[in-house]
Structure 1
């Protein structure tokens, strides 16, 4: 039985994970027969029992021959491998390899420890350096997607696109995301030394960062031009339940302060929960308009539509960049396709899939891509991203919302020309 199931569009530590595959080798019939005649060692019986218990879904669909083949390989390794083997490592390797065989970088198997760490990503606080990372599809390196504003990582100078190649002198190239993140995280007050490759720098850069307790904010908002009535909401992620209610409260508060024009910033926002982005899009789209189309296996695409809500119908600019992913892209695509606002910034990340994750009986977990999505207008953004209406770069990598932010400045100039 699955104890926990959640759908996510997020891509921070929920993002790219590559497991360790199990290398299987052929065994002869003679060896198999001999092992069968002698019976299974107790440790192997326990191993196969654990493996079956962890496969509550697949167990009913595996044929007897498939189960026998798994058991045969396990018997061979347990009985014939030149060195003592770790039964749990065999179990985990088999399960990782099964998921890795899908060839999907967003699907993964978690050990109980990894699953606990993964779920922490949905909590409001954690201990670490405060950066969102992924395994880059282009380079295979652990890459910073976005530093959390005010975090130790941001203060130290880590930037979007930085590739972390060493942690405390240990080469992490080729590691899974789970392994690498486990090395970077640690108790508050301890230090971690990172070696980073940065585009345009001839040599790797070294950062020594003191870990801290990170409180992940959902959003920030303020009036940035009282005279012109320009309000600003910066949404950091869609991953916390209640993100939509906080956006609603922010809009109401800014309205009370005289807002007649709204800049909504999802730059460096890695995504989050599907229901939250639908709720937030409902503030801007007419009720009943499509927000996103979900495409599941062997099913017709289904549209999730904007709900009844207190609507914002004034001038709207949505700021996007290469760190805007998944749920951020759904919102940007919906606004663009509905023609209710202007997108300004840079092309978005390009993640067009939905993941569902479960806690298994023993505390381990699994995350699978269970659907693809299309934007409100029926466009796939997977690997392509959403193009802004007005392209504005950020060559000096100014942190979004900070003084000198060229994309925000462009948004202010543009929205001033829009009639409330």
Structure 2
């Protein structure tokens, strides 16, 4: 009888093993997928700026995510996406391997696509143009800052995350993409763009001079990428040799980029003073300071508009609060959050908001922006008309710099 019972128990165990055999082969994969979810959770847990994690129990979020059976990497990314979405922070996001590579290429100085910097409007969820990159297919087609992108190749942009939308607009050089675009006041239109290599040379520099006025060095900085610091240094050096006595730094429609690039470029204009404060979730304040290595003390005016964001706002705020420059234009975009990038074990990446920044006078820029010293509205102009006589913001900057008393007393430059 005892042997018979033992045989029955063994048969039941064998039946259970056979019956559950359908999930045994993927158990290892499931463990690997869960490890990736746990890896993302741990990085956010250690680094995220908001210690309340959007007023939720972050540990319970982890438990809920790891309870799920995850059968493949696609489902893993979906679980990670939902976990991060609970933070209600569009800047904290998971980047799949191809997206992560594209981002690294973008910040390195070159990409292939249509040349749009985009953001999600937090209130409406609509995809919005921050700025087209100068000389890009999007800029040449007349797409402007503030335009809304409703569809990409006929698919509503509400179906995409921010990174997915960016990926949809990238592609092989010479291929086409159709965007459905709605302007601020104009009707919706379809725009066909041919993708091209976007050379992210971020600087345009020229000496502007006319009879009876001081020679003005005009520097347009389009993006804070891996080339920006060296290119701006080269531009200032060249303009100094050409005899520039004053400068216009044009940050209009500059969406930002590398934080460190913004700090280093601020040091080109400042001999001393705080450039920016950073505040982490413990409320610990760090700061970046000028290093007594300014490349010029000549008077300076900075041009900004609604497309001026992130690292551009750090630079403009540093120069304004240190009374190194007058700011002319419109109130800026208002992105005062700092993200760090983390490599993940599967080749994907994670962008996490780790701190916020404040100007030297402790002005919180996030959602508020920088208010110029001289408010001048931005009238959309053709690319070849920017920084010409029809550009009212540029004309105002010239008027400030060519005022005899301003140049003679150098109140915007040499602080003695």
Q: Same fold (TM over 0.5)?
A: yes
Unaligned runs of 5+ in 1: 1-33, 79-85
Q: Look up the match of 2:282.
A: 298
Structure-to-structure mapping, 1:133-212, within 5 angstroms: 133-201=118-186, 203-212=187-196
Q: 1:110 is matched with which residue?
A: 95
The alpha carbon displacement at 1:88 in A equals 2.0
What's the CA shift string for 1:305-344, capped at 9, x where partnerless? 1113134222110111111111111111111111111100
Q: Is the 8 A contact 1:292 1:330 kept in 2?
A: yes
Distance verdict in 2 for CA 1:206–1:359, change over 3 Å: same
Q: 1:256 matched to which residue of 2? A: 241
- Where structure 2 has 5 or more consecutive residues not aligned to the other structure, the ranges are 1-15, 47-57, 409-416
Rounded to whole Å, the distance in 2 between the matches of 1:92 and 1:195 is 28
2:371 aligned residue: 387
Task: Name the CA distance, whole Å, in 1 between partners of 2:139 and 2:174.
Answer: 16
The equivalent position to 1:419 in structure 2, one of 397, 407, 412, is 407
- Per-residue CA deviations over 1:229-258 (Å, capped at 9, x if unaligned) read 111001111121x42232122111111111
- Superposed displacement of residue 404, structure 1: 2.1
Q: How does 1:17-416 map to 2 (within 5 A)?
A: 38=20, 40-53=23-36, 55-56=38-39, 58=41, 70-74=65-69, 87-201=72-186, 203-227=187-211, 228-240=214-226, 242-287=227-272, 289-399=273-383, 400-401=386-387, 404-416=390-402
| TM-score, structure 2 as length reference | 0.83
> Do the aligned partners of residues 310 and 374 (structure 1) sit closer, same or farther apart at CA in structure 2, a change above 3 Å counting?
closer
| CA distance, structure 1, for counterparts of residue 59 and residue 355 of structure 2 | 30
Alpha carbons of 1:57 and 1:68: their partners in 2 closer, same or farther (altered >3 Å)?
closer
Q: Contact 2:248 / 2:302 at 8 angstroms: preserved in 1? A: yes
RMSD: 2.5
Which has the higher relative contact order, 1 or 2, with Cα contacts under 8 A spaced 6 or more apart?
1
Q: Whose helix proportion is higher, 1 or 2?
A: 2
Q: C-alpha distance in 2, partners of 1:171/1:238?
A: 30
* Offset of residue 57 of structure 1: 6.4
Which residue in 1 is equivalent to 2:52? none
CA distance in 1 between counterparts of 2:137 and 2:309 reads 23
Deviates more, 1:144-153 or 1:41-50: 41-50
Structure 1 window deviating more from structure 2 (37-46 vs 183-192): it is 37-46
CA contact (8 A) 2:300 2:324 kept: yes
Q: Does the CA-based 8 Å contact 1:295-1:373 persist in structure 2?
A: yes
Distance apart, 1:279 and its partner CA: 1.3
Task: Give the count of matched residue pairs.
Answer: 373
Larger-gyration structure (1/2): 2
1: distance between equivalents of 2:269 and 2:234? Answer: 14
For each residue in 1:201-238, what CA deviation from the matched residue of structure 2 results, as whole angstroms up to 9, or x when unmatched?
Answer: 2x311211111111111201001225421110011111
Secondary structure class of the residue paired with 1:119: helix
Q: Secondary structure at the match of 1:262?
A: strand
Shift of 1:54: 5.4
Residue 309 and residue 42 in structure 1: after superposition, are their counterparts in 2 closer, same or farther (change >3 A)? same
Work out whether residues 379 and 391 of structure 2, in 8 Å CA contact, stay in contact via their aligned partners in 1: no
Equivalent residues of 2:147, 2:181 under 8 A apart: yes
- Give how far 1:276 is off: 1.5
How far the C-alpha of 1:65 sits from its partner, in A, is 8.9
> d(CA) in 1 for partners of 2:280 and 2:303?
30
Q: For residues 197 and 67 of structure 1, what CA distance do their matches in structure 2 show?
A: 40
Query: How much has 1:66 moved relative to structure 2?
Result: 8.0
How far apart, CA to CA, are the structure 2 residues paired with 1:206 and 1:51? 42
Where 1:121 maps in the other structure, the secondary structure is helix
**TM-score (normalizing by structure 1):** 0.82
Partner SS state of residue 293, structure 1: strand
Q: 1:206 to 1:70 in 2, by over 3 A?
A: closer
Answer yes or no: is the 8 Å Cα contact 1:398–1:405 preserved in 2: no
Q: Tell me, what secondary structure is at the counterpart of 2:107?
A: coil
Whether the aligned pair in 2 keeps the contact of 1:220 and 1:235 (CA below 8 Å) is yes
The 1:330–1:71 alpha-carbon spacing in structure 2 relative to 1, beyond 3 Å, is closer
> Which 4+ stretches in 1 moved above 4 angstroms?
37-40, 57-71
What is the CA distance between 1:281 and its match in structure 2?
Answer: 1.0
